[in-house]
Amino acid sequence: MPNTRDRWNSQVGFLFAAVGSAIGLGNIWRFSYMCHDNGGGAFLVPYFVALLAAGIPLMLLEYGFGHSRAGSAPLSFAKVGQKSEVLGWFMPVMVMFVIMLYYSVVIAWCLNYLVFSFDLSWGADTESFFYNNFLKLSEGPGQLGDVRLPILLSSLVVWFIIWIICFKKVSHGIERACKIFMPTLFLLTAVLVIWGLQLDGATEGLRYYLRPDWSRLKEWKVWNDAFGQMFFSLSLGFGIMIAYASYLPKRANIVGNAYLTSVINCGYSFFAGFAVFSVLGYMAQVSGVPIKDVVAGGPGLAFVVYPRAISLLPAFNSLFGVLFFLILVIAGISSGISIIEALGSAIQDKFSINRFRVITLLCVTGFLGSLLFCLQGGLYWLDILDHYSNNYGLVAAGFLECLIVGWAVKTHLLRKHINDSSTLKINRIWDFSIKVITPLILGSFLVGALYHEFAERYEGYAIKYLVIGAGWLLFLLAAAVFISRLPWRAGSLKREHSSRGGKLLT
């Protein structure tokens, strides 16, 4: 393996890749139903608080940490110590073997619905089509049922596309793909927003979206969902941004890139919400029901309500459907490739295995693991594992990042590195945020999540299924501990450090 890491061809290429990782299905599918479930505009208040209190500070931390250590998340944390290295492995391992497994299947749903859009195959009863015809949903997580062949085949296509993009170097594969994907995504989204705003009832939908119900801000769930969505959407705690930043040159304008990635991501979610809620307003008017009752939430927003709305459009139904689901496919794949890269670069750093072999192994393993969610009972396990990964895994990773970087690495040293490589500067407020404010907020959400976990079973699932879901995270944590104890390839820590130049921040 060469002594120096691969590099982005340009700052723009890096920004497109970082934004491509951040902007995914979570910005359209997940953000919209979270917003709908939590009172529309009421959700936007804690969401933007989360951006300022956790999103931007942690984005600066992950960019600065990956850039200063010139390595993937495990390599970067290994330069702090072996105990810290466990966190470096847990992040990409958890994201790969929890989130990516079901995320790839949701992309596969979108791919199927992209095909369905050409002749509106879902018919008049879109809810029955999605749950009974497409998923053939079983009665519970204990009844896995049979493999759904259309979902299986489209999942295989998704994993193949990701493999094609990822096995090349980042500058040839991921960077080039994101330079195409991101402008296309923004353009298609703008078309949908303009189109949606012209629908009858769109004004009512936007009123629900933008007018906060202040009483909902008293609910712990609204704030918890907002912070969980922020982590999911920005790819924080994934190990992705640490790996991506390690491919930056010495002068990288880390501060500007962190601000841009965070703001573009959240701005895109907010902007895409106009398309979704204008259609919800249209649906409410046509159906004669309040907007809050148009859909119960969850995947139904993208796969039940939107197809129903598309069918009711006065003209260009198929074109509208193709655009919407093409956006979801592009957004999903752009995020999926970053998840593979985060773990792939870590394995390369530690074991010096050929990139082609690493990416192939991850994609084959990922496809096999995603088969669970191609079963008739897969939706239940998607819900359970999404709950634990977002409410515990990602938030805990962010919490521990703050403690390690804030108190072991020393924030003032990392801040100096960030400022030395950037045009914009950050001050001591960031230090205080990483050491005190952000970990206090994240710690309180972890405690609150545990309290609610014991107070009532999540979604009424039997305790044995929740134990399996939580147990899978603990198993991956044990795997991270095991991997961290394996030796690094000879000289890897020293050589990766020397490729950046400068003093280690310990």
Coil, strand, or helix at residue 235? coil
- The series of mean pLDDT values per 10 residues for the chain, 506 residues long, is 60 79 77 81 89 91 90 90 91 94 94 94 90 94 95 97 82 70 84 86 88 84 85 82 85 88 90 86 82 66 79 80 87 87 90 90 96 96 90 89 87 91 90 92 88 85 92 95 87 48 41
Residues whose CB is less than 8 angstroms from the CB of residue 95 and which lie 6 or more positions away in sequence, other chains included: 237, 238, 239, 240, 339, 342, 343, 389
Which residue, among 296, 278, 139, 300, has the nearest Cα to 201 in the 3D structure? Answer: 278
Q: Which CATH class is domain 11-489?
A: mainly alpha
DSSP secondary structure, 116-166, as one string: HTTTTTT-S-HHHIIIIIIS---SSTT----B-HHHHHHHHHHHHHHHHHH
Question: 441 near 49, Cβ under 8 Å?
Answer: no
d(CA 485, CA 221): 38
Q: What is the pTM of this model?
A: 0.87
Determine the pLDDT at residue 309: 77
Burial of 191 (0-12, 13-18, 19+ CB in 10 A): middle
Determine the pLDDT at residue 369: 96
Determine the pLDDT at residue 410: 84
d(CA 87, CA 72): 12
- Which residues in 326-381 belong to E strands, given as ranges? none
Question: 265 near 233, Cβ under 8 Å?
Answer: yes
269 Ramachandran zone, left/alpha/beta (phi>0; psi -120 to 50): alpha
d(CA 59, CA 258): 6
Question: Where do the domains of the chain lie?
Answer: 11-489
Tokens 């979604």 — which residue?
Answer: 459
Determine the pLDDT at residue 503: 43
d(CA 243, CA 196): 38
Identify residue 93 by its one-letter amino acid code.
V
Determine the pLDDT at residue 491: 57
d(CA 175, CA 177): 6
Determine the pLDDT at residue 381: 95
Enter the tokens of residue 237: 């705690």
Strand partners, 40: 212
Determine the pLDDT at residue 166: 84
